[in-house]
Amino acid sequence: MSVLSKSLILDRLKLEIDRPESLVVTPFDESALDLDSLDLRLGHHFLFPKLPAEGAINAQDRGPRSDFSVHIPFGQPLVLPAHQTVLGMTLEFIKLPYDVSGQILTKSSIARSFLVIETAPWIHPNYRGCLTLELANVSNSTLILNPGMRIGQLILLSIDHPDPNGELSGAYVGPVRPEAAPHQSSHKH
């Protein structure tokens, strides 16, 4: 496995969209490319958790929760209180090739404000969708976030022995807005 360089990323972006080795990032801003990564921006849809009446959530019971969705227009701030977490999305829609996986990391300038953007940073080959960001304010202060701000770095890695017939499957295929965990009962029959 090796990290794709700026020139390899650009080569993949120039391929026809229907080719299995093509990379799609839209909207694309070439100034977001670094030597070995691509900056991603914060989208404008967020999913806030509501606290249940009993004050606790059973992590194994992914049953219906009363989360609520919020749209923050460009030019307006998202206020994230200290020690709070919200689900957000990248502004960019991503299509990974069959032979590339990715990892999203918090930009160091953002991390220095004690904001963590991911807890599940791995992106599988053939992924399509906007990336969900777990925005966790681990500071003692309220943070102001603005849709459109550069928030993460996408690192792309080539796979040594890719499966050209592999298909992406799972609960989160093609998201364009933050999604709560799917319903999954913890009771076994």
Q: What domains can you pick out in the chain, each with its CATH number?
A: 2-49+69-158 (2.70.40.10)
Q: How many CB atoms lie within 10 A of CB 141?
A: 12
Secondary structure of residue 176 in the 3-state scheme: coil
Angle at 163 between CA 160 and CA 168, to 5 degrees: 115
Q: Which residues are catalytic?
A: 134
Q: Number of C-alpha atoms within 13 angstroms, CB side, residue 58? A: 11
Residues comprising the chain, all counted: 189
Answer whether 0.75 is exceeded by the pTM.
Answer: yes
Q: 35 is written with which tokens?
A: 């030597």
pLDDT for 60: 62
Helix (H) and strand (E) counts in the chain? 2, 13
pLDDT for 55: 58
Per-residue tens of pLDDT for the chain, all 189 residues: 799 999 999 999 999 999 999 999 999 999 999 999 999 999 999 998 776 555 555 666 655 555 678 899 999 999 999 999 999 999 999 999 999 999 999 999 999 999 999 767 889 999 999 999 999 999 999 999 999 999 999 999 999 988 777 676 555 566 666 766 654 444 443
